Structure 1
Amino acid sequence: MDELEFMRGRVYGADHDDPGPRDGRVYAELSGGPLDGLLLDVTDRTPADLADGIGLRTEIGRYGPGGRAVYVPRGPGRVLEWRGDLP
């Protein structure tokens, strides 16, 4: 199994021992960029919280450890699309 296949369907920020989605939670899929294929728990976030984008810390983005990958909503569904990386 390659790294992309390993990450697909895992939840961003979840423990490696328990990577899957939980019942009763709402998830958006991250599309593109360094976190492609991961799920983000958006249960407690409003559409306004996500409208301007959300910066997610990642060690595998352009700026390495401490950098952030920015994702914005794509259409009315539950997909967040990568827009770039920030230091």
Structure 2
Amino acid sequence: MNGDEQLLNGRVYGADHDDPHPGPLPHRTYAALVGGPLDGLLLDIHGWRAEDIDDGVALPTELGQFPGGRSLYDPRPDEPRTPGQGVSCRLYYSGDTP
């Protein structure tokens, strides 16, 4: 099993905690969250434009430095993206905001 397949066995950000199958769906596109409080989760980016991903994301979480705040994740400009289904890119933790 390659690294992307192992990531696909992970949990999707925003899935209900008591969902018996919180993992990714085979027909969707995901970004792997790397570092910070959401490390190892997958973010569903299916249908996002490249510009949306380039802007990074601020994800609500109770796990960051500011409970009820947001954790910031950004792409690395030199890292390629794989078009299509599965894990297409990685977003890296860059800090927290209230």
TM over 0.5: yes
Number of residues paired by the alignment? 79
TM-score of the pair, normalised by structure 2: 0.75
Unaligned runs of 5+ in 1: 1-7
TM-score (ref. length: structure 1): 0.84
1:76 maps to 2:80 = yes
Cα-to-partner distance string for 1:13-58 (whole Å, 9 max, x where unaligned): 0122131101200011000000000000011211200212110000
Where in structure 2 are the equivalents of 1:56-67 lying within 5 Å?
A: 56-64=59-67, 66-67=68-69
The 5 Å alignment of 1:36-55 reads 36-55=39-58
Q: Which has the higher contact order (CA 8 A, sep 6+)?
A: 2
Return the index of the structure with the highest Cα Rg: 2
What is the rounded CA distance, in whole Å, between the counterparts of 1:62 and 1:47 in structure 2?
29
1:20 correspondence with 2:18: no
What is the one-letter code of the residue matched to 2:28?
Answer: R
- 1:3-22 Cα offsets, whole Å, 9 max, x none, are xxxxx810000122131101
Matches of 1:54 and 1:13, distance apart in 2: 14
Q: Which amino acid aligns with 1:81?
A: Y
